Structure 1
Amino acid sequence: MTPTSDRRLIWGTALTQFIGWGTLFIPFSLVLQPMEADLGWSRWELTGALTVGLLTSGILGIPVGRWVDRRGGRAPLTYGALLGAAALAAWAAVDSLWVFYLIWIVMGCAHATALWIPAMAVVVALARQPTKAIAGITFITGFTGTVFIPVVAALVEGLGWRGALLALAALQLLPAVIAWAQFRGVPPPTPPTAIAKGDALRLAMRRPAFWGLALCFAAHVFIGVGLGSHLVPLLREHGLPETSVLLIVALHGPTQVAARAMLYFAGNRASMRLVGMFSAPLLVVALLWLAVAPPTFVWLLPFVACWAVADGLMTIVRAAGTAEILGRDGYGAITGALTLIGVLPRTAAPFVLALAWEAAGGYGPVPWLLAAVAALGAAAFVLAARDRGPAPA
């Protein structure tokens, strides 16, 4: 690989992920209410399909990761993108609830094969500077919501939810073309003996670092999904004006992108251990500030700044830090296992926080609960960062 091919890898991977997340994940929340009105299904019935899709994706993480470790990423990234396009087209025609659930099982397969795990496994295997490459990719994909939320909303408004999904299905064909062309002529990897025997994941799971990372990343995804689903009503309950609420939420994206940009320019000079030991406690600080700050826009700015920086950096630590701490051998299977462990926290977070809200009669204890989860995740990352050797045979 050369620096030029690293740039090609960054741009090719970033485009497949930018479009893939924009078409396969973001539309769900934007077509939810139109589907309710059109089909008469309840919100619980609809969101249950999303949960099934997330569970399917998590379960497939390990076998897909092993495939990439042994045979490369061209097939899963290409055919996964095509599968996603087919699922979107089927979704546009759905009129039966049980079929909708089947479609989301297929969509979960597309998520597992076309999105984050195989893409990052390819980058870690091929890039000369994987940390810089991952930072560059996440910098670009950080704008996915900024671009696709208004685009999908406009498509739903102009074409209806079925027409919007058909348009997105056509767009989702582009990542398949990019992935097929990007890895044309690239030979599959020659896996080390441990990978060939399927031992890389087993050896990694013997190390305290694996379980430290698993707990840290599970805490991170619980907080991210929980805040994503409850931050707006939490701020409204505090009595902030609507413009302040929306601006605080909107500041998260640009701030995390700026943090990723700084890490990109730092390149391989940045140790992922040190970045994680900075960003994981910073998330604790952010949530404690949310718990005690007066409910005014100015006083909540430090919260959103610390939260966004920590969130932006931890996304990179999740990908590049796993390679730095656990090694590149068997990276796909290892990250698949880490993702599988995080599936339950990811799917449970909105419900757990809703139960806390209902039990307390308000959002008062929620920031404290999230801060405790963040503190547990930070301690777990310290455990992982201090483990510098493989498990004994």
Structure 2
Amino acid sequence: MNRTSDRALILGTALTQTIGWGTLFIPFALMVQPMEAALGWSRAEINGAFTLGILLSGILAIPVGRWVDRHGGQAPLAWGSVLGSAMLALWAITDQLWLFYLIWIGLGVAHATALWGPAMAVVVALAKQPMRVITAITFVTGFAGTIFVPLVAALIAGFGWRGALWILAVVQLLPAATAWWQFAGTPPRTTHQARDSEEAYRRTLRRPAFWGLALCFAAHAFIGVALGAHLVPLLREAGLPEASVILLVALHGPLQVAARGGLYIAGPRASTRWVGLGAMLLLPIALLWLGGAPASFLWLLPFVLCWAVADGLLTIVRAAGTAEILGREGYGAVTGALSLIAVLPRTLGPITVALIWQADGGYGAVPWILAAVGFLGAASFVLALRDKD
């Protein structure tokens, strides 16, 4: 099998991204309480390091994207994975807060180089059918949490949080080896190709379609992170039984994966333009339903269904739709710029909703405000579609 055939891209990228997210991102939430107990650090201090890493990964998105456009993805994907492994090993032995912050600076660099953005830039550059390949990859990576949350919890229970990090550090070397092998021998980009990519990037920044997509993806990021942080207490405040709260939240993952599976089956018949528009309209509809539906499990099922389908499809639209609407040239830098613009909304989402909750004395206004943000995102996506450059 050709190392860069569509099938090889699906297998290799799905493996590196599932493991990458499972070792470099997902474990943090499970490490907070054991670290609090062992080291005496406050939850705010620990989360501050994580926030710093996420912000740095967004800032680095453009330079990393430019590197991929000019030189290919082998070096950032492979060496970023090695860096991630080293940072996990260093995390396992740290007992100083300043060192923990330095570790998360390193992990921010690893996120920017080894995770989603560079991987999708490589797929878009090499795949014959980018949307189908990206859909298949996201179908697999959608199970990252399903696999790694119980795995990391079991490792912590069996080996302690430090032992779990040592094991994860070893596992994270597999994506490095996979990326290095898969893209070995890929022809380097010529100076002419690199120059064309840079010119395409600068030209794209001047297009209304770019700013339409930027606002759309920023709105989606704001809503997604805000809901992720506050949905459980919101449902509890509404008076749902605890079992119903947990089940409604847990259904998001499987329904998201099912939506991606349906898109994969549709194949080339599905245009990411119209898939994206449908998903961006479905998102505020879901939030309006959340705001107006009675507080019962059956009544809130349509909210979870619409939210999960929109969320699952928009992950694909961010990667494949950007290439379809803005073109493949300069894709790495363009998607880096889109990611950078979404960093601030993603960071502000949870704290903004917390302030609304505090000012209003509850979550009553939150679904309506998020729905308004969703409609703004949908209007921005329409702006992107209307650009005929």
- CA deviations on 1:22-65 (whole Å, 9 max, x unpaired) are 00000010000111111111111111111110111011101110
Task: Select between 123-132 and 182-191 the one with higher mean Cα deviation.
Answer: 182-191
Q: What is the alpha-carbon distance in structure 1 between the residues aligned to residue 166 and residue 320 of structure 2?
A: 35
Distance 1:197 1:261, change over 3 A: closer
Residues 196-215 of structure 1: pairs in structure 2 closer than 5 A: 196=196, 198-215=198-215
The equivalent residue for 2:106 is 106
Structure 1 counterpart of 2:101, one-letter code = Y
CA contact (8 A) 1:118 1:332 kept: yes
CA contact (8 A) 2:2 2:8 kept: no
Question: Are the equivalent residues in 2 in contact too, given 1:70–1:196 (CA < 8 A)?
Answer: no
Distance 1:242 1:376 in 2: 33
Shift of 1:268: 2.4
Equivalent pairs counted in the alignment come to 389
Instruction: Return the letter of the residue paired with 1:282.
Output: L
* Distance in structure 2 (CA, Å) of the matches to 1:70 and 1:309: 35
**How far off its partner does 1:2 sit?**
7.2
Moved more, 226-235 or 196-205: 196-205
TM-align CA RMSD: 1.4
Counterparts of 1:200 and 1:97, CA distance in 2:
43
5+ residue gaps, structure 2, are none
Alignment-derived partner of residue 15 in structure 1: 15
Cα contact 1:26–1:148 (8 A) shared by 2: yes
Separation in structure 1 between the aligned mates of residue 37 and residue 270 of structure 2, nearest angstrom: 50
Partner of 1:240, secondary structure, is: coil
TM-score by length of 2: 0.98
Q: Name the residue aligned to 1:217.
A: 217
In structure 1, the partner of 2:350 is 350
Tell me, in whole angstroms, the C-alpha distance in 1 between the residues paired with 2:53 and 2:382.
32
Aligned-residue offset at 1:388: 2.0
TM-score, with structure 1 as normaliser: 0.97
Among all aligned residue pairs of Structure 1 and Structure 2, give the percentage whose two residues are the same amino acid: 70
Contact 1:69 1:191 (8 Å CA) reproduced: no
Q: Which residue of 1 aligns with 2:53?
A: 53
Give distance in 2, aligned partners of 1:350 and 1:48: 14
SS in structure 2 of the partner of residue 319 of structure 1: helix
Query: CA shift at 1:386, angstroms?
Result: 1.3
Instruction: Report if aligned partners of 1:6, 1:127 keep a CA contact under 8 Å in 2.
Output: yes
1:235 matched residue in structure 2: 235
Which portions of structure 1, spanning 4 or more consecutive aligned residues, are displaced by more than 6 angstroms? Answer: 1-4
List alignment gaps of at least 5 residues for structure 1.
none
**Contact 2:14–2:140 at 8 Å: present in 1 too?**
yes
1:1-393 equivalent positions in 2, closer than 5 A: 5-190=5-190, 195-196=195-196, 198-389=198-389
SS of the aligned residue for 1:217 comes to helix
1:192 Cα deviation from its structure 2 partner: 5.5
Distance 1:198 1:177, change over 3 A: same
Task: Give the deviation of 1:195 after TM superposition.
Answer: 3.8
Distance 1:223 1:26, change over 3 A: same
Deviation at 1:279, TM superposition (A): 0.5
